[in-house]
Structure 1
Amino acid sequence: MQLTPQTAIYITHPQVVVDPQVEVTEWRLSPLGSERVDLLAKRVADLSSTCPVAMVCSAERKAIETATPLANALGVDLEQRPHTHENDRSSTGFLPPDAFERQADAFFASPTRSVRGWETAQAAQARILREALSAEAAHEGRALIICGHGAVGTLLYCALAGLEIDRLWDQPAGGGNWFAYDRLSRRPLSHWAPMEILFADQNRSREKQ
């Protein structure tokens, strides 16, 4: 993945500590999630010297904990954009894994319908697309990295790719994935891939020099 001022990359937070006693928006990265982010941060350290970069993130703790090491490694300020949050599912609060997966299936399957009080997929898609375009406009001339969440990230991907909302396009389990898109054409340059391969090609190029 080569960064240019025309590039935007959406990265989802990796694994978290699931705690039913804590608000989902305040969940922290797990040790594995933090380790994955730290490894990515080591790879991005020199990228801002080849292309100016702007970094934004959701105001949810797990997104901040994903974005902060990357912003520090790049030497750039981190801008929090609260409206890039995950789909609003506060009506149900924490759901056990099986129940959550059924609810998520229904969320994607009925984009215009609020399932048990959740924000509709259609509304969440409009929100994340609006926020992505706003972030682009605020950071002209720089590559843009957005750290966020799986459901709204998938909805953004569907909007950019011209696809119907469908969980078929959801990120792989566990989080810590990314896709890139072209800011001029607003078309995806890739589908979801694990953060372990993001910028790996640039690191190999530096090793050969």
Structure 2
Amino acid sequence: MTRLLLARHAETVWHEENRYAGGRSEPELTDRGLRQAEQLAKTAVALGVDVVVSSPQRRAVTTATPAAEALGVPLHLRPDLREVDFGDLEGHTLSEMDPEAVRRFRQDPETNAFPNAEPLQVAGERCAAALRAVDAEHDGTVLVVAHSSLFRIGLCVLIGLPVARYRHVFPLLENVALTEIRLPTDPAQPASLLSMNRLP
């Protein structure tokens, strides 16, 4: 049986401003973020992680690399674990956008996404398919390092919740906190959320 541990990447230089870093953005980690990555590596060793998988984006790779190196295992990159593409919101804060567009977005981010954004359902299905593939391809304990919005939307799909509610159901994933899920053998059945936001 595969044990899936999901971890949001470490803190980036855009974190404090809550600037949207999506599938096109590559902000660097802060010094604190680099320390968080090292702490995640220690936790991965303590938990006996067997496999480390990461989004190919720089902030995720920089977070996951210390764990892979500490464990002496290769780092597996999956392009389908890239963050959601936020379209015209990418690289901006909500305060920099049109207030009426922000109001509609907060009310229903699926229907009222910013122009050129990836649909939430598409992103969620992409994440769910990636996690199912990781679950099928690997045995033991697997650490998957990716992104907050992608994971939260993907969890909605896996559990069977409306993706438009992802902010309400899963309001926050802390940087490098671990979320453990169990996927059923039958993909038509919902996943089990075993723990969430467990800090290393």
Q: TM-score range by the shorter chain?
A: 0.7 to 0.9
Matches within 5 A, 1:124-139: 124-139=123-138
Alpha-carbon spacing, 1:95–1:131, altered in 2? closer, same or farther (3 Å): same
2:28 counterpart letter in structure 1: R
8 Å Cα contact 2:86/2:116 also seen in 1: yes
CA distance in 2, matches of 1:103, 1:84: 26
8 Å Cα contact 1:181/1:188 also seen in 2: yes
2:13 counterpart letter in structure 1: V
Tell me which residue corresponds to 1:7.
3
CA distance in 2, matches of 1:82, 1:59: 6
Out of 56, 59, 62, the position equivalent to 1:62 is: 59
Matches within 5 A, 1:107-122: 109-112=108-111, 114-122=113-121
Tell me which residue corresponds to 2:158.
160
Residues 83-132 of structure 1: per-residue CA shift (max 9 Å, x gap)? 110001244431135347x8598278242554322111111001111111
TM-score (norm 1): 0.75
2:147 counterpart letter in structure 1: H
Q: CA deviation at 1:188?
A: 1.1
Question: Unpaired runs of 5+ in structure 2?
Answer: 186-190
Q: CA deviation at 1:177?
A: 2.6
Residues 141-183 of structure 1: per-residue CA shift (max 9 Å, x gap)? 2222110000011012212222222111335376333310113
Residues 24-72 of structure 1: per-residue CA shift (max 9 Å, x gap)? 6321111111111212212322543xxx611111010000011101111
8 Å Cα contact 2:25/2:91 also seen in 1: no
Matches within 5 A, 1:1-209: 5-18=1-14, 25-48=25-48, 53-96=50-93, 98-99=95-96, 106=105, 109-112=108-111, 114-139=113-138, 141-165=139-163, 166=165, 167-172=167-172, 175-184=175-184, 186-191=191-196, 193-196=197-200
CA distance in 1, matches of 2:142, 2:31: 27
CA distance in 1, matches of 2:195, 2:182: 10
8 Å Cα contact 2:54/2:61 also seen in 1: yes
RMSD: 3.0
CA distance in 1, matches of 2:80, 2:107: 20
CA distance in 1, matches of 2:69, 2:104: 36
1:98 counterpart letter in structure 2: S
Alpha-carbon spacing, 1:124–1:25, altered in 2? closer, same or farther (3 Å): same
* SS of residue matched to 1:25: coil
Q: CA deviation at 1:18?
A: 2.7
Residues 185-208 of structure 1: per-residue CA shift (max 9 Å, x gap)? 6311123x1433xxxxxxxxxxxx
Alpha-carbon spacing, 1:54–1:95, altered in 2? closer, same or farther (3 Å): same
* SS of residue matched to 1:176: coil
Name which of structure 1's ranges 115-124 and 181-190 shifts more when overlaid on structure 2: 181-190
8 Å Cα contact 2:81/2:127 also seen in 1: yes
